[in-house]
Each structure stands twice: as structure tokens, then as C-alpha cells.
Structure 1
Amino acid sequence: MDLNIFDRMESEVRGYIRSFPVIFSKAKGSVLFDQEGREYLDFFAGAGTLNYGHNNPVLKEKLIEYVADDGVVHGLDMATDAKKYFMETFERVLLKPRGWDYKMQFTGPTGTNAVEAALKLARLVKGRQNVVAFTHGFHGVSGGSLAVTANQKFRDAAGVSLANTTFVPFDGYMGPDFNTIDYFERMLEDPSSGMDLPAAVIVETVQGEGGVNVATHRWLRDLEKLCRKYDMLLIVDDIQVGCGRTGSFFSFDSVGISPDIITLSKSLSGFGLPMSLVLMKPELDVWKPGSHSGTFRGNNLAFVTAAQALDSYWADNRFEKEVGRKAEIVRDRLESIVQSYPSAGLSVRGRGLIQGLVTPADDDLANAISAKAFEHGLVIETSGANDEVLKLLPALTIEEEQLKKGLEIIERSVAEVFEARGVSAKVLKFGGKRR
């Protein structure tokens, strides 16, 4: 398989091709096919962009029909049939059943565009510059969103000073017995702490890129109370873990909080088409016409598939229950792997169908397992400050047989990597058979 053209002409900035060095030619559901016809199970799903799988037939049919009828493809922020129907569907399926009242802002096509708009709006509303973000958080790599992204690897590439952000420890960062909200509040109440009163706080309920770190519901509720007490806006970045990734459509549905601003992207279109959205409480909509713009702030093809995804999967709770059932299968299998190697320092964390097999941070174990899994036909990435977490992001629509096959590949890959390192499994599993 000749990758020379990519090595010769594409920038050194390329990343995932280094982990998965083949040329993919087709994709369907949860399977990728390379040029030679080899199949790969996909536990990556476009970094959470393909929650409904590749070329989902229900969404594809609507998309083809729209293009065949010469529907408007590019419309800036003008009114179109596709945009109108998406907004009506979003309100009917998601907002009204929850009793929510949010206005919509369609930003540029990627998640970082939504974050940039949210931060800009928060500062405009409050008239303050500082924003609080959290350790291990990831919100994008453009200027403003990079300033609230914690990972040094991304920050080092900025080329300019990244200011107007204060980082606070995320839930669990200081250990299970330390409430980081107490620390945050102490900083706010102390006029000599050095923290300028923030306009907003931006948070992921589950930090995907940061290592599948899960905030407890209590911590999130305490964070919201703190925002209300100190007149800070609460921004929930649901770009990777929204759109059903944790089970419910919004990752905070069962938490009992009411964010001022919500950012969505990745799987919002349902088909891998670029689309981003900012939801804001109506009183925050202080924009002047055209004061935040962008050529691709109205992807009509994405509106078509996004509306269909909402109607097909979220009009009732059947799909949510299906995701929950699959999540239990994943958790049980990962916990079994952990128990098989009690001295290896492994653990499991996550919610729904974003789960991680956590390895010691200093031995490159997760990358070795990912590479071995790819050899066996599974695409899966790592995350965390030291790439110490094997991160599972299968499509929410993955067939149960495929899900179990992928988990078997992970278990086999873990066994082979440990065997090469002289680590043996403690127990036999699954009817006495090692896999």
C-alpha cells in the first residue's frame, strides 16, 4: 500500500495516519475497508463524529434526495427549507420535551468555531475577560479555544501568548477526597488570590481528549451553584460527549443543571458533515447583526441529515436504552480485563459509549495496545495527558456482534502486549478459555 504521496506532499502536522497507516477506500456502518479490501472494525467513529456509523442508510437516503432535488447547499445564514426544518425538529424533539428555552447560533463548521463564539459571547455579556477552564480540558486549537485547552502539546503550537484564562482542578484531579469546587470558591472569595472574576466557566462533563475523566453529578451541580453565586456564565462543551455519546442526547440530561450556553458539533449532523451550534439562553443573545460571522455558518446538507438523525433516533427513548445496554457490555468486558491483570495498574472509567481502559502513564502501554489492535483489524485511539488511556468510541448504532468482536480484539491485544512484557493473566475467563 503506497503512502508515498502523503509523506511527500502532506504537512508533518498529520496525525491519525501515523497510527493507522493504510489507505481507506470505503466505509459502512462500523466497518472501514482499505484499498486491498481488508476490513477494520471502527471503535474511533471519527473521534466521536460518526455516532450513527459510516454512511448511515437512513441519513444517506435523505441526503441524496435533497441533492437530487437541487436543494440549497450553501446559504450563509439565509433562510432555507433545510434550516427551517432542522430548527423545527430540534425544538420538537429536544427542547420542548425538556422544557428548555434556548436560541440557536450557527457558527463556522467545526467545534472550535462554536467554542470561540461561546467565549466571545460570554465576555460580551459580562464585560469581563477572564474565563475559567479545567485541568485536562480540551476545547479546540484555534486562538480562543486553545487558550482554554490545557494540554501542553497543543498549547506549545500556539505561537502567541494564551491569556485571559485561569485553570482550576477538574473533579478528581486532587484525588477522590478533595473537592476542587471548594478550592475554586476559595480563589473567588479571596481578593488576593490573583484570579480575576471570570465572565464564564467552560467545562466538559466527560473529558474525552483529556483521558475520559468523568465529573460526578454532585460536582457539576456544585459548579453551577458557584456560577450563580459569583455571576459567572456556565458553558457546557458537549461537542464530543453530546449527541448521545453518554447515553442521553445531552451529556448532562440526568445531572440537574441548566447551562447558560451549550456548544455542539461532531455528531450533530449525524453523517460526518461539518456542523456546529451554540445554544444560548435568550437573554444572552446580545449580538448585533453580523457581529460574529463565517462563510460556512449554514451547512444545509448537514441540516438535512441532522434533522433526520433526531427524528430517527431521539423521538422516543428506545435508542437511549439500546445505548445503555451496549455500554454495560463494554464496561463488563473492560472490568474483566482489569481483573485479569491485578498487578498491572489498570482501571476503567467513562460513561455510556465513551469508555477508557486506563494504563500507567509512564510505560506507553495504551499506544502499544492500540497498535496491536490495529494489526488485528480494530481502529481505536488513545487519549490523556500521556496517551495513557485506550479510548473506546464505537458508533452508538454498532451491532452487538461487532461490539463484542471489537472487545475480543482489545482483550487479545492486551494479552499479547502483556505476554511480550512478561506479564501473565491471573485467571481464566469465559468458560475457562483465554481469548
Structure 2
Amino acid sequence: MTSAAATGSKVTYTSANVDWEVFHRQFDEALRGVRAQLGRDYPLYIGGEAVTSSAPPFVHTSPIDRDVLLGRFASALPPEVDRAVAAARGAQRGWAHQPWRARVALLRRAAGLIRERKFALAAIMSLEVGKSRLESMGDAEEAADLVDYYCQQVEDANGFVRQMAAVTPVERNTDVLRPYGVFACIAPFNFPLALSTGMSAAALVAGNAVVYKPAEETPWTGLKLYEVYRDAGLAPGVFNYLPGAGDVAGEALWRHSGVDGVVFTGSKAVGMRIHQGLARDWIKPCLLEMGGKNAAIVLDSADLDAAAEGVMRSAFGLQNQKCSATSRVYVHQRVARPFVDKLVERTRAMKVGDPTERDVAFGPVINAAAVERFRRAVARARREGKVVFGGQQLSDGLFDQGHFVAPTIAELPLS
């Protein structure tokens, strides 16, 4: 397979038809390019202009190695939120009046740019979030796919313009869905490109403007999404990049009177507060994704090797920091012991370390708070059941530099 062919191939979270030697060579090349950019200063982008903030910049380090400075990112305060919302409102009318086919064409260009840049985007996510090479490339591929999906939705619905039946010969009735206004898009850290792209592309292709706040832990990936939209030809102000603290910039953004709707992915506590506080004077669109528990059931008729492999891969992808990760397994009592043995065997064989390296499947958790949540969960598992594998924070060498915990399996009672 040639290098060009490898670029055109597709990697998902679970499977790929790709020459892995070529893939890793291209990833290594992208990683060298990304590391050459470490330690720079980055502004906000509002109305197409680089904007500074009076707040101290966010000193952004890698969860793999806290001594690795990824960059210093401007942190938005309420005045920058005001300015971003005003810029979005000013730009939205012109964008909304673009023919829907023109909006679709521009968004499809953005999808193409994501695919062209996918190795660099994946390398950034690996450093910034601690994703393995497979996970980070899957994130980049999904981002482009989500843009295409929403574009296809608009095309299939003919721009959401539909002729309706007429009761009399002199009437003409048309059902039209029009752009709504300005949406706040508040994204999570665990799929920093895919979910940021999905929520923003859906709003944009429908003719809305966006004020986008990436997760505090992923401003670099968020900046690269801004650059994709800019380079695809999106007019200044239609998409504004506003990194900052959730309890400052995020709170000011969703509460802003100039915001017409909110898309949020994150914790239940924050999502419910947004839902309860958003529609103060009138109903506003509020799209929330607040996580979940992905359970697996293993019956006594199951192929235990396949079940253990599937559970291991799902449970420990991105160190179990996603709602799609298997976090609990219900196993028929007749096969419980051999299943657990097989699951432990496969988990023990999994390579833990720097996820930017090839063949490493399990990297760090995102930050010190995640390590502390892990400790509390393990302590509870020991009180209520038995830890059969893992259960400790990792130390020595690289592990002392980052936020590393062991992949952990516990047996707990049903009630």
C-alpha cells in the first residue's frame, strides 16, 4: 500500500483495513510535526480576529507528562462572551441567507479538510487527551463522518422545504424550517473533535451561527476545528472559538440572553442546571448528552473468548472515560469464573504507557481529578466487593510524570 492509499484508508474505533506499517509511519511523521509546535501562545478567535483576555492564560500540559507544555491558551471571561455572541448575531443573518446548497458545499469542504489533516489532528488528541493512536484516529474519522451525515440530512430533506396539500385551488402551502439563530456549543474532553464537530456542523449547515467553547482540557483540538471551518471558507463570526473555564466562560455563555439555543455534552449535574435555567423567558432549544452506563450481558451460551475480548476492548478504550465504554458486565453464574479469568488474562496482556506510541492501548486519565475519582471508586469496590485485577495508581518512570492508573476489574454483588 502506498502512503497516499494509507491516507485514503479508514480507521474506526474497533476495526480497520489498513497497512499498519504505513499508518504508524504517517502517525510518527505527524507527531513530530505537532511536537515542533509545543509551547506556543494561542488567542481566542471572535469575528475572525485573534482576541486576548485579561484573565491569566491557561497553561496546558499533557496528561501523559505534566512537564510537557502543550501551549498557553487565552481564557475567555464574560466580556469576551459578550463580544463573541454579538459577533455571531451579526454574522448569522448573512449565513442564514446563503442557499442551503452553498452551506452544504462549504461544510463538505470542511469534512474534506478534516480527512486531509486527520493524522495531525489525531496526534494532537493523543498528546492532549491521552488517546491511543487507534482511538485518536477514530475520533478524527468520526468528525468528518458527522459533517457528511448532517449535510446528507439537509440534502435528503431538500433543505427542509416541503410542499403541502392545498384545500382550495387558489392556495399554496409550504412547510419551511428556517435557521434559528445563535447556538452555544459546549463540548467534552473525551471526543474533543468528533463531538465538537458534530454539534457545530449540525447547527452551521442549518444556517445558524455558533459560539464554541471546547472543554478546558482540549483547547488545542478545538482551535484546530476553528481553523478547519475558517479554511473551508466560513465567514468571520459564524463560528467563534472561546476556550475558558466551564464555571466562568461556559456559565456566562449558556446564560447569555443573545444565545438562542444550547448544545452540551458533559456531566448530568451541569446538563440539568442548563436545562432548568435556559428557558427563563421563553422556550429555547436545549440539546443535552449527559453520559450513561454501557452494560454488557454474558449468557452461559456465549463464546467466552469473544465476550472477554469485546468487553476488554470496550471497557478500557480511552481508559473507560466515555459513556460508550463498558463499565459493568452481568455474567451468568455458570460461566462467571471462566469469563473473569479470560477477561483478566486479556487485560493483563494490554500494553499500558504513552499512548502516542504504537501498540500502547491504555494511557493516562485526563487529569488529577480523574485519578481521585478512580481512587474513590476502587475504595468503594473493596468495601462492597473484591478487586480481582488492578486497583492502584501506577508509579515509576513515565507513570510518575502523568495521570496513570491501572486498568481495573472488580467483582461486586448485584445489590
The reply to whether TM is greater than 0.5 is: no
Greater helix share, 1 or 2? 2
Higher relative contact order by CA 8 Å / sep ≥ 6: 1 or 2?
Answer: 1
Larger Rg: 2
